[in-house]
Amino acid sequence: MTKIILHGGFTRDDNESNRSYYREITKDLGEGSTVLVVLFAREVDEYPDLMKDEINKLTQSTNKHLNIVQASEDEFMKQVKGSDAVVIRGGDTAKLMEVFKRHPEFMEAVKDKVVAGSSAGAYLFSRYYHSGTRNKVFEGLGILPIRIACHYGSKELEGRGNPLEQLEEYPHDLELVVLKDYKWRVFKI
């Protein structure tokens, strides 16, 4: 069974909700497990600082030794197959979606693994998502039968319209998932 953890955004901040998110990622991993960190939603010049932050948060969440690796587009599927967990950092959803659309075999490769996605990383798994920066609903990869809004009620994204009202226009047989900043939820498929 694949464990998918969706996070509402802003993993950069240090608070108990974010710490519990990282503990959830690592709690079922064994000693020496490989965690693949995906930063494709961000600019390349941000990678060193983001990777340092992810390593810090992941290592502080457990007393197990983890092999934490940064994903590269050239080796992506090979890295996914060799990992025990995949952590997808947020950023530009369109940029992230572009990479994942080139890898339709991703979900088969993460079968029985832990996969975590924050904000843009969470949107990937949805059927429909509301982008706060674009104030519009877009299609995700449809892995989970959900409509989702991350950063719900966020002070940093005020004035983005009403995401719930916009998502109401999409099929009601899809669960509506609302995640505030720092909040997270587990799905198992």
What topology is assigned to 3-188 in CATH?
Answer: Rossmann fold (3.40.50)
Report DSSP letters for 69-117, one per residue: EE--TTTHHHHHHT-SEEEE--S-HHHHHHHHHT-TTHHHHTTTSEEEE
| Average pLDDT of the residues of the chain | 96
The identity of residue 25, as a single letter, is: I
Residue 153 backbone zone (phi > 0: left; psi -120 to 50: alpha; other: beta)? left
Rounded to whole angstroms, how far apart are CA atoms 26 and 115? Answer: 10
| Each residue's pLDDT tens digit, 52-98 | 999 999 999 999 999 999 999 999 999 999 999 999 999 999 999 99
The whole-number pLDDT of residue 46 equals 98
Chain length of the chain: 189
The whole-number pLDDT of residue 159 equals 65
In the chain, domain spans: 3-188
CB atoms < 10 A from the CB of 175, how many?
Answer: 13
The whole-number pLDDT of residue 134 equals 87
